[in-house]
Amino acid sequence: MTRIKPQPGVMDIELYVSGKGHIKGQSNTVKLSSNENPWGASKDARRAYQSLAGELHVYPSSDHVALRTAISEVHNVDAERVICSNGSDELISLLCQAYAGAGDEVLFTEHGFLMYKLCAQGVGATPVAVSEMERCTDVDAVLAVANENTKLVFIANPNNPTGTMVPEQDVVRLVDGLPNHTLLVLDGAYAEYVDGFDGHASLVDDRDNVFITRTFSKIYGLGGLRLGWGYGPAEIVNTLHRLRGPFNVNASVLAAGEAAVLDTDYTTKCRKTNAKWSKFLRKKLLGMGIACDASQANFVLARFGSEAEADAADQVLSDAGLLVRAVKSYGLAECLRITVGKGADCKRVVSVLQEFKDGWIA
């Protein structure tokens, strides 16, 4: 009988459950559960991806110089301190591998992205969830919890799944208040949805204890390709390069990413259209008595009166072919996260929920 066993704690890690993608027996479904760009990738990105179909036998670039250069030009960052990855999830994992281990603590907010906790557990570190204030990062609470064992602090800004955002001055206060051995990681997966926001890249240039992560899965519409990037101090980027695989991003993905980031007109169009329908959704939800914070991302968090009401609403939407995300695993049992879809999809959501609310008896 085998005695092969995983390292202690590995089997305590909960499996990540992604948003529902289909409904058995239904073909006309609309997926609003994973915060994908409903308009997809730009034509330039799709063409670039397809252009390499005849070169599948060739290894991809290991230094990602073309994509790093494109990112540098668009986001006004130093290309030498950009690192590309197989989704931003990979960077979260690499950061935990590099800077945390047994006896160390990794902090994140109570309603933060689940991968922070899972990656911390994966390296034997202790995950610590810090209370939020009205679904927004509480900087004072984070500073109060941080101690000599805190090696990493992960903050998504804007946050998923709440959609809330920490003002720049509070982020600076957090950076300056953390112990000098603690690295602040600012996850900017939804940064492109905030007009004029650099995802805290300028803060990276001003400090030596800040690292940012970004993704191509949201506004760029490349979630199926798995591509992310990070930006940080040279020493930290150099450390992560030693842990990543030499060919961690495939050639077609690199080409699609380069084309996507350079197509700034398409990015702007997606941002503006998302803002229009995000405001529409929130206004309609509030009008029917469903609480909803102003979102800085491509989704809204609908807060119902109870877990039972949220479950019932989720079922009604599902029966109508509309897939949204229940967020009980984020400690928000009474909420549903609804991706901002195309205009017709948003109108369908509103219509179904209005009918549901009209008949709901608490």
Q: Are strands 105-109 and 150-156 parallel, antiparallel or unpaired?
A: parallel
Class of 10-39+265-359 in CATH:
alpha beta
300-310, pLDDT tens digit by residue? 999 999 999 99
136-153, pLDDT tens digit by residue? 999 999 999 999 999 999
User: What's the pLDDT score for residue 362?
Assistant: 66
Q: For 203-232, what is the mean pLDDT?
A: 98
At residue 19, does pLDDT exceed 80? no
- The answer regarding whether domain 43-263 maps to CATH 3.30.360.10 reads no
User: Does this chain's domain 10-39+265-359 share its CATH topology with 43-263?
Assistant: no
Q: Report DSSP letters for 122-189, one per residue.
A: HTTPEEEEEPPBTTB--HHHHHHH--TTEEEEEEESS-TTT-----HHHHHHHHHHS-TT-EEEEE-T
- 134: how many CB neighbours lie within 10 A of its CB? 8
User: What's the pLDDT score for residue 1?
Assistant: 66
At residue 291, does pLDDT exceed 70? yes
Domain ranges of the chain: 10-39+265-359, 43-263
Structure pTM? 0.95
Model confidence at 20, in pLDDT bands (50, 70, 90)? confident
At residue 201, does pLDDT exceed 90? yes
60-95, pLDDT tens digit by residue? 999 999 999 999 999 999 999 999 999 999 999 999
